[in-house]
Structure 1
Amino acid sequence: MDRIGVVDTMFARVDMGSIAENRLAGMEGFGERFKAVRRTVPGIRDLAVACRQLIERENCEVVLACGMPGGDDLDRIRAHEASQGIMMAQVLAGKHVLEAFVHAQEEPDPVKFTELCRQRVGAHAVNAYWLLYAPEELRKRAGQGVRQGGPDAGPLPG
Protein backbone atom coordinates (compact mmCIF):
# COMPACT_ATOMS: atom_id res chain seq x y z
CA MET A 1 0.00 0.00 0.00
CA ASP A 2 1.33 3.45 -0.93
CA ARG A 3 1.75 6.16 1.68
CA ILE A 4 1.22 9.89 1.46
CA GLY A 5 2.93 11.77 4.27
CA VAL A 6 1.45 14.78 6.04
CA VAL A 7 3.56 16.95 8.36
CA ASP A 8 2.09 19.86 10.30
CA THR A 9 3.18 22.08 13.18
CA MET A 10 2.10 22.96 16.70
CA PHE A 11 2.68 26.63 15.89
CA ALA A 12 -0.17 26.71 13.36
CA ARG A 13 -3.44 28.15 14.65
CA VAL A 14 -5.49 25.86 12.41
CA ASP A 15 -5.23 22.04 12.40
CA MET A 16 -3.77 21.86 8.92
CA GLY A 17 -2.78 18.20 9.25
CA SER A 18 -6.37 17.14 9.85
CA ILE A 19 -7.52 19.16 6.84
CA ALA A 20 -5.04 17.23 4.67
CA GLU A 21 -5.93 13.86 6.21
CA ASN A 22 -9.66 14.45 5.74
CA ARG A 23 -9.20 15.50 2.12
CA LEU A 24 -7.06 12.45 1.38
CA ALA A 25 -9.60 10.19 3.12
CA GLY A 26 -12.14 11.31 0.53
CA MET A 27 -9.97 10.34 -2.43
CA GLU A 28 -10.51 7.16 -4.44
CA GLY A 29 -8.50 4.24 -3.10
CA PHE A 30 -7.98 5.57 0.42
CA GLY A 31 -7.47 2.66 2.80
CA GLU A 32 -7.10 0.17 -0.04
CA ARG A 33 -4.54 1.66 -2.41
CA PHE A 34 -2.94 4.23 -0.11
CA LYS A 35 -2.99 5.63 3.40
CA ALA A 36 -1.92 8.87 5.02
CA VAL A 37 0.92 8.93 7.54
CA ARG A 38 1.02 12.02 9.75
CA ARG A 39 3.65 13.66 11.91
CA THR A 40 3.45 16.88 13.91
CA VAL A 41 6.52 18.98 14.71
CA PRO A 42 6.96 22.12 16.83
CA GLY A 43 7.46 24.70 14.06
CA ILE A 44 8.09 25.27 10.36
CA ARG A 45 11.86 24.90 10.58
CA ASP A 46 11.29 21.31 11.78
CA LEU A 47 9.25 20.34 8.72
CA ALA A 48 12.11 19.37 6.39
CA VAL A 49 13.56 16.70 8.68
CA ALA A 50 10.14 15.22 9.39
CA CYS A 51 9.36 15.13 5.65
CA ARG A 52 12.59 13.33 4.88
CA GLN A 53 12.00 10.87 7.73
CA LEU A 54 8.54 10.08 6.37
CA ILE A 55 10.09 9.33 3.00
CA GLU A 56 13.01 7.29 4.29
CA ARG A 57 11.56 5.57 7.37
CA GLU A 58 7.87 5.35 6.51
CA ASN A 59 8.29 4.83 2.74
CA CYS A 60 6.05 7.73 1.78
CA GLU A 61 5.86 8.35 -1.96
CA VAL A 62 5.03 12.04 -1.55
CA VAL A 63 4.76 14.33 1.48
CA LEU A 64 2.68 17.42 2.19
CA ALA A 65 4.41 19.95 4.48
CA CYS A 66 1.86 22.24 6.20
CA GLY A 67 3.00 25.37 7.98
CA MET A 68 1.72 28.72 9.18
CA PRO A 69 4.45 31.36 9.38
CA GLY A 70 3.69 34.30 11.65
CA GLY A 71 3.33 37.84 10.41
CA ASP A 72 6.50 39.61 11.52
CA ASP A 73 9.76 40.01 9.61
CA LEU A 74 11.55 37.30 11.58
CA ASP A 75 8.76 34.83 10.76
CA ARG A 76 9.08 35.60 7.05
CA ILE A 77 12.81 34.87 7.27
CA ARG A 78 12.09 31.61 9.08
CA ALA A 79 9.53 30.66 6.43
CA HIS A 80 12.15 31.19 3.73
CA GLU A 81 14.65 29.05 5.65
CA ALA A 82 12.02 26.34 6.08
CA SER A 83 11.26 26.42 2.36
CA GLN A 84 14.94 26.00 1.56
CA GLY A 85 15.11 22.98 3.89
CA ILE A 86 12.00 21.45 2.33
CA MET A 87 13.48 21.86 -1.15
CA MET A 88 16.71 20.24 -0.01
CA ALA A 89 14.83 17.35 1.60
CA GLN A 90 12.90 16.58 -1.57
CA VAL A 91 15.95 16.79 -3.80
CA LEU A 92 18.01 14.55 -1.51
CA ALA A 93 15.16 12.06 -1.15
CA GLY A 94 14.21 12.17 -4.83
CA LYS A 95 10.51 12.45 -3.99
CA HIS A 96 8.06 15.32 -4.00
CA VAL A 97 7.43 17.38 -0.88
CA LEU A 98 4.60 19.82 -1.48
CA GLU A 99 4.74 22.94 0.66
CA ALA A 100 1.39 24.26 1.89
CA PHE A 101 2.21 27.41 3.83
CA VAL A 102 -0.45 29.91 4.81
CA HIS A 103 1.15 33.12 6.05
CA ALA A 104 -0.51 34.94 8.95
CA GLN A 105 -0.63 38.25 7.06
CA GLU A 106 -2.51 36.82 4.06
CA GLU A 107 -5.94 37.40 5.60
CA PRO A 108 -6.74 39.45 8.72
CA ASP A 109 -10.24 38.03 9.24
CA PRO A 110 -9.99 34.79 11.32
CA VAL A 111 -12.96 33.11 9.62
CA LYS A 112 -11.67 33.88 6.12
CA PHE A 113 -8.15 32.88 7.18
CA THR A 114 -9.39 29.48 8.36
CA GLU A 115 -11.20 29.01 5.06
CA LEU A 116 -8.01 29.95 3.19
CA CYS A 117 -6.20 27.21 5.13
CA ARG A 118 -8.88 24.68 4.24
CA GLN A 119 -8.74 25.59 0.57
CA ARG A 120 -4.96 25.69 0.22
CA VAL A 121 -4.15 22.58 2.25
CA GLY A 122 -7.03 20.65 0.68
CA ALA A 123 -5.91 21.59 -2.83
CA HIS A 124 -2.33 20.56 -2.10
CA ALA A 125 -3.56 17.24 -0.68
CA VAL A 126 -5.33 16.64 -4.00
CA ASN A 127 -2.13 17.62 -5.84
CA ALA A 128 -0.20 15.02 -3.81
CA TYR A 129 -2.76 12.40 -4.79
CA TRP A 130 -2.63 13.44 -8.43
CA LEU A 131 1.17 13.20 -8.47
CA LEU A 132 0.84 9.51 -7.61
CA TYR A 133 -2.36 8.41 -9.27
CA ALA A 134 -3.53 10.94 -11.84
CA PRO A 135 -0.64 13.00 -13.25
CA GLU A 136 -2.80 13.76 -16.27
CA GLU A 137 -4.93 15.98 -13.99
CA LEU A 138 -1.89 18.15 -13.34
CA ARG A 139 -1.02 18.20 -17.04
CA LYS A 140 -4.55 19.42 -17.93
CA ARG A 141 -3.92 22.47 -15.76
CA ALA A 142 -0.47 23.35 -17.13
CA GLY A 143 -0.18 27.03 -18.01
CA GLN A 144 -3.59 27.87 -16.57
CA GLY A 145 -2.49 30.08 -13.65
CA VAL A 146 -4.03 27.71 -11.11
CA ARG A 147 -3.60 28.80 -7.48
CA GLN A 148 -4.19 26.87 -4.27
CA GLY A 149 -6.33 28.74 -1.75
CA GLY A 150 -7.28 31.72 -3.87
CA PRO A 151 -8.73 32.74 -7.21
CA ASP A 152 -6.83 31.37 -10.19
CA ALA A 153 -4.71 33.93 -12.02
CA GLY A 154 -5.75 32.43 -15.37
CA PRO A 155 -3.62 31.92 -18.46
CA LEU A 156 -2.05 34.77 -20.38
CA PRO A 157 -3.25 35.40 -23.91
CA GLY A 158 -1.16 34.08 -26.66
Structure 2
Amino acid sequence: MIKIGVVDTTFSRVDMAKYAIEVIEENLPEAEIIRYTVPGIKDIPVAARRLLIDEGCDAVITLGWVGPGQVDKYSYLAMSVGLIMLQIMTGKHVIDVTVHEDEAGDLDDLYNIAVDRARKHALNLVMLVKYGREALTQYAGKGLRQGRPDEGPIKE
Protein backbone atom coordinates (compact mmCIF):
# COMPACT_ATOMS: atom_id res chain seq x y z
CA MET A 1 0.00 0.00 0.00
CA ILE A 2 1.36 3.40 -1.01
CA LYS A 3 0.86 6.12 1.58
CA ILE A 4 0.94 9.80 0.65
CA GLY A 5 0.98 12.56 3.25
CA VAL A 6 -0.61 15.93 2.57
CA VAL A 7 0.23 18.83 4.89
CA ASP A 8 -1.58 22.16 4.66
CA THR A 9 -2.21 25.19 6.85
CA THR A 10 -5.07 27.22 8.21
CA PHE A 11 -3.10 30.35 7.24
CA SER A 12 -3.48 29.54 3.54
CA ARG A 13 -6.14 31.53 1.74
CA VAL A 14 -6.89 28.69 -0.72
CA ASP A 15 -7.61 25.05 0.16
CA MET A 16 -4.74 23.79 -1.97
CA ALA A 17 -4.85 20.35 -0.33
CA LYS A 18 -8.27 19.75 -1.88
CA TYR A 19 -6.79 20.12 -5.37
CA ALA A 20 -3.66 18.11 -4.59
CA ILE A 21 -5.76 15.27 -3.17
CA GLU A 22 -7.99 15.25 -6.27
CA VAL A 23 -4.92 14.78 -8.49
CA ILE A 24 -3.45 12.08 -6.27
CA GLU A 25 -6.75 10.17 -6.11
CA GLU A 26 -7.19 10.42 -9.87
CA ASN A 27 -3.66 9.26 -10.74
CA LEU A 28 -2.85 6.95 -7.83
CA PRO A 29 -6.22 5.53 -6.73
CA GLU A 30 -4.62 2.75 -4.73
CA ALA A 31 -2.85 5.21 -2.42
CA GLU A 32 -3.88 5.92 1.13
CA ILE A 33 -3.85 9.68 1.65
CA ILE A 34 -3.29 11.10 5.11
CA ARG A 35 -4.03 14.81 5.53
CA TYR A 36 -2.52 16.83 8.36
CA THR A 37 -3.53 20.48 8.77
CA VAL A 38 -1.43 22.82 10.91
CA PRO A 39 -1.71 26.55 11.74
CA GLY A 40 1.16 27.97 9.67
CA ILE A 41 4.28 27.22 7.66
CA LYS A 42 6.62 26.90 10.63
CA ASP A 43 4.48 23.94 11.76
CA ILE A 44 4.81 22.12 8.43
CA PRO A 45 8.16 20.34 9.02
CA VAL A 46 7.02 18.51 12.15
CA ALA A 47 3.78 17.46 10.48
CA ALA A 48 5.72 16.17 7.47
CA ARG A 49 8.09 14.32 9.80
CA ARG A 50 5.21 12.70 11.65
CA LEU A 51 3.66 11.58 8.37
CA LEU A 52 6.92 10.17 7.00
CA ILE A 53 8.22 8.52 10.15
CA ASP A 54 5.27 7.86 12.46
CA GLU A 55 2.67 7.13 9.76
CA GLY A 56 5.07 5.49 7.28
CA CYS A 57 4.20 7.68 4.31
CA ASP A 58 6.20 7.08 1.15
CA ALA A 59 6.23 10.80 0.31
CA VAL A 60 4.64 14.05 1.45
CA ILE A 61 3.38 17.13 -0.32
CA THR A 62 3.28 20.32 1.74
CA LEU A 63 1.07 23.25 0.86
CA GLY A 64 2.01 26.53 2.49
CA TRP A 65 1.13 30.19 2.22
CA VAL A 66 3.61 32.98 2.81
CA GLY A 67 2.47 36.48 3.73
CA PRO A 68 3.95 39.58 2.09
CA GLY A 69 6.12 40.79 4.99
CA GLN A 70 9.83 40.28 5.60
CA VAL A 71 9.09 38.20 8.70
CA ASP A 72 6.97 35.93 6.50
CA LYS A 73 9.90 35.45 4.12
CA TYR A 74 12.16 34.49 7.02
CA SER A 75 9.56 32.03 8.29
CA TYR A 76 9.42 30.46 4.83
CA LEU A 77 13.21 30.17 4.71
CA ALA A 78 13.27 28.42 8.09
CA MET A 79 10.49 26.05 7.02
CA SER A 80 12.21 25.28 3.73
CA VAL A 81 15.50 24.41 5.45
CA GLY A 82 13.58 22.15 7.83
CA LEU A 83 11.96 20.29 4.94
CA ILE A 84 15.26 19.89 3.13
CA MET A 85 16.82 18.43 6.28
CA LEU A 86 13.84 16.08 6.66
CA GLN A 87 14.30 14.82 3.10
CA ILE A 88 17.98 14.18 3.71
CA MET A 89 17.29 12.40 7.00
CA THR A 90 14.50 10.17 5.66
CA GLY A 91 15.56 9.71 2.04
CA LYS A 92 11.96 10.45 1.03
CA HIS A 93 10.47 13.16 -1.12
CA VAL A 94 8.81 16.18 0.43
CA ILE A 95 7.38 18.31 -2.35
CA ASP A 96 7.14 21.89 -1.05
CA VAL A 97 4.28 23.78 -2.67
CA THR A 98 4.30 27.35 -1.48
CA VAL A 99 2.40 30.42 -2.60
CA HIS A 100 3.78 33.83 -1.74
CA GLU A 101 1.01 36.35 -1.30
CA ASP A 102 2.96 39.07 -3.07
CA GLU A 103 3.63 37.08 -6.26
CA ALA A 104 0.39 38.16 -7.93
CA GLY A 105 -1.29 41.46 -8.67
CA ASP A 106 -4.82 40.47 -7.71
CA LEU A 107 -6.66 37.79 -5.75
CA ASP A 108 -8.00 35.95 -8.80
CA ASP A 109 -4.46 35.55 -10.15
CA LEU A 110 -3.24 34.43 -6.72
CA TYR A 111 -6.03 31.85 -6.53
CA ASN A 112 -5.17 30.51 -9.98
CA ILE A 113 -1.49 30.27 -9.07
CA ALA A 114 -2.33 28.33 -5.91
CA VAL A 115 -4.61 25.83 -7.65
CA ASP A 116 -2.28 25.30 -10.62
CA ARG A 117 0.78 24.89 -8.40
CA ALA A 118 -0.97 22.43 -6.10
CA ARG A 119 -2.24 20.32 -9.01
CA LYS A 120 1.03 20.25 -10.96
CA HIS A 121 3.19 19.45 -7.94
CA ALA A 122 0.76 16.73 -6.84
CA LEU A 123 1.23 15.17 -10.26
CA ASN A 124 5.02 15.47 -9.87
CA LEU A 125 4.74 13.62 -6.56
CA VAL A 126 2.59 10.89 -8.12
CA MET A 127 5.11 10.44 -10.92
CA LEU A 128 8.01 10.09 -8.48
CA VAL A 129 6.20 7.66 -6.20
CA LYS A 130 4.61 5.59 -8.95
CA TYR A 131 7.44 5.45 -11.50
CA GLY A 132 10.61 6.24 -9.55
CA ARG A 133 13.60 8.50 -9.93
CA GLU A 134 13.55 8.72 -13.71
CA ALA A 135 9.86 9.60 -14.00
CA LEU A 136 10.50 13.29 -14.59
CA THR A 137 13.67 12.94 -16.67
CA GLN A 138 11.77 13.37 -19.94
CA TYR A 139 10.80 16.87 -18.74
CA ALA A 140 14.28 18.00 -17.71
CA GLY A 141 15.27 21.35 -19.18
CA LYS A 142 11.79 22.06 -20.54
CA GLY A 143 11.17 25.23 -18.52
CA LEU A 144 8.06 23.80 -16.87
CA ARG A 145 6.44 26.00 -14.24
CA GLN A 146 3.93 25.43 -11.49
CA GLY A 147 1.52 28.28 -10.93
CA ARG A 148 2.45 30.09 -14.11
CA PRO A 149 2.58 29.20 -17.80
CA ASP A 150 5.59 27.14 -18.84
CA GLU A 151 8.61 29.13 -20.03
CA GLY A 152 9.90 26.46 -22.40
CA PRO A 153 13.52 25.54 -23.06
CA ILE A 154 16.07 28.08 -24.31
CA LYS A 155 17.10 25.67 -27.07
CA GLU A 156 15.79 22.25 -28.05
Q: Same fold (TM over 0.5)?
A: yes
What does 1:119-134 correspond to in 2, within 5 Å?
119-134=116-131
Partner of 1:145: 143
Paired residue type of 2:138:
K
Contact 1:8 1:67 in 2 (8 A): yes
Structure 1 segments unaligned to the other structure (5+ residues)? none
Given residue 59 of structure 2, which amino acid in structure 1 is its aligned partner?
V
1:3 counterpart = 2:6: no
Q: Which of 32, 35, 59 in structure 2 is aligned with 1:38?
A: 35
| Aligned pairs for 1:1-158 within 5 A | 1-27=1-27, 29-30=28-29, 33-135=30-132, 136-157=134-155
Query: What is the Cα deviation at residue 52 of structure 1?
Result: 1.0
Q: Is the 8 A contact 1:52 1:90 kept in 2?
A: no
Structure 2 alignment gaps of length 5 or more: none
- Give the conservation status (yes or no) of the 8 Å contact 1:5–1:36: yes
Whether the 8 Å CA contact 1:24–1:125 is kept in 2: the answer is: yes
**Superposition TM-score, scaled by structure 1 size:** 0.93
Contact 2:42–2:75 under 8 Å retained in 1: yes
Calculate the aligned-residue CA RMSD, in Å.
1.3
Assess if the C-alpha contact under 8 Å between 1:44 and 1:68 holds in 2.
Answer: yes
The 1-side partners of 2:112 and 2:135 are apart by 24
Stretch deviating more after TM superposition (39-48 or 126-135): 126-135
Give TM-score scaled by structure 2 length. 0.94
Q: How many residues align?
A: 155
Structure 1 stretches of at least 4 aligned residues deviating more than 4 Å after TM superposition: none
> Using the alignment, how far apart are the partners of 1:132 and 1:87 within structure 2?
18
Please give the alpha-carbon distance, in whole angstroms, between the structure 1 residues aligned to 2:125 and 2:84: 16
**Could you report, residue by residue, the CA deviation over 1:32-70 in whole angstroms, capped at 9, with x for unpaired residues?**
x21211100111011111111101111111100110000
Take 2:83 and 2:129, find their aligned partners in 1: how far apart are those partners? 19
